[in-house]
Amino acid sequence: MAEFSKQYQEAFDFAWHDFDYEEICAKLQPNEFYPLICEGLGTLGVGKSESGDMLFGIRDDEDPDMMVFRTLDQMISLVKTQGRG
C-alpha cells in the first residue's frame, strides 16, 4: 500500500497522510537517516545533516544505485516539474 507524508499532503493539498517526516527527523541525530518511502514525493527516507537540516534521500537519475539528498523545497519543485503533484 502506498504511503504519503504530511509534507506531501501540505504541499499538494492531498486528502491525508500516513506519517510526518519532520517528527521523524526531530528524533534523529546529525548524519542519521531513517528509511521510509513517501510515494508522493518519491523519497526513500529522511535524514539530518551535520548542521541539523532535514534532507530527503532519492535515487540519483544517472546512477539508480546511488542515493542523493535534497531539501524539502527541492523535492516539491522536482515533483511539480515532473507533473506528479
Task: Output the pTM of the full model.
Answer: 0.90
pLDDT at 82: 86
pLDDT at 63: 97
- 62/64 Cα distance (integer angstroms): 6
| Contact call for residues 58 and 68 (beta carbons, < 8 A) | yes
Sorted by where each begins, the domain ranges of the chain are: 28-85
Taking the CA atoms of 31, 34, 40 and 42 in sequence, report the sign of the dihedral they define.
positive
Q: Over the chain (85 residues), what is each successive 10-residue block's mean pLDDT?
A: 93 96 98 97 97 97 95 95 77
pLDDT at 18: 97
